Amino acid sequence: MTKARDLANGGFGLVLVKPTSVSAGATDNGKGTINFSGVTTVSLNGCFNNTYSNYRIIVNFESFSGTDNIFYMRLRTSNADNTTSNYRYTGNDWASNWNPWSDALYAQDKFVIHRYSRANGIYMSMDVLSPFATKYTGLLSMSSQVNTNPGVNHMGGIFNATTSFDGFTFFPDSSQNMSGQISVYGYNK
């Protein structure tokens, strides 16, 4: 039987992780949830470490300055994005039926994590698997654009090199401004 004190002290489930630093235009609410406003990129540093093997990222992208574009993610080490051509991904989206992404390619310098219209925002949940370990990092993402006809995106990918990461960056194409919140949780072992 699970005791209330075990649940209260983070002995099970997900634990909110506080990043060591965030990019300009982003602020920590003091507990680890990051708010950002009017930025073209948002980066979190020092949120992956050897305390947890796997992580859940919950994102509420509330607004963007444009629509009908692609949304990206890069992994980071020591406050710098990794821009090598080791990102592999594939995905599909739903508007009126499932459509595989025809441009899901190998040897890219970033992950594509959401596609198409998002003027009213995006709700996203993703699992990042083994980012801090020196082995391939996995990524599984599901997102829905905030709309009366919500488009849903599924994405899966790996970073095809044995690299240790401690953070990540989100950014839309065309240098659009964005606002929202990010929380990172570690899966208790």
| pLDDT tens track for 36-95 | 999 999 999 999 999 999 999 999 988 777 766 688 999 999 999 999 999 999 888 776
pTM: 0.89
**Hey, what are 76's tokens?**
């980071």
Top pLDDT among 8 and 26 is at: 26
pLDDT reading at 4 higher than 50: no
Biggest distance spanned by C-alpha atoms of the chain: 52
What are the extents of the domains in the chain? 14-137+171-187
Look at residue 134 in the predicted model and tell me its pLDDT.
93
Instruction: Give the residue with greater pLDDT, 49 vs 13.
Output: 49
Cβ atoms of 140 and 129 closer than 8 Å? yes
- pLDDT reported for residue 9: 52
pLDDT tens readout for residues 92-144: 877 666 666 665 566 789 999 888 766 678 899 999 999 999 999 999 999 98
Q: Is the torsion defined by CA of 29, 35, 37, 41 positive or negative?
A: positive
Q: How far is CA 23 from CA 32, 62, 67, 90, in A?
A: 14, 18, 24, 28
Give the separation between CA 98 and CA 119, rounded to whole angstroms: 21
From CA 52, how far away is CA 129, in angstroms rounded? 10
Q: How confident is the model at residue 18 (pLDDT cuts 50, 70, 90)?
A: very high
Rounded Cα distance, 110 and 94, in Å:
22
CA separation for the pair 102, 55 (Å, rounded): 28
- DSSP for residue 108: B
* Residue 63 CB partners (closer than 8 Å, separation 6+): 119, 120, 121, 178, 179, 180
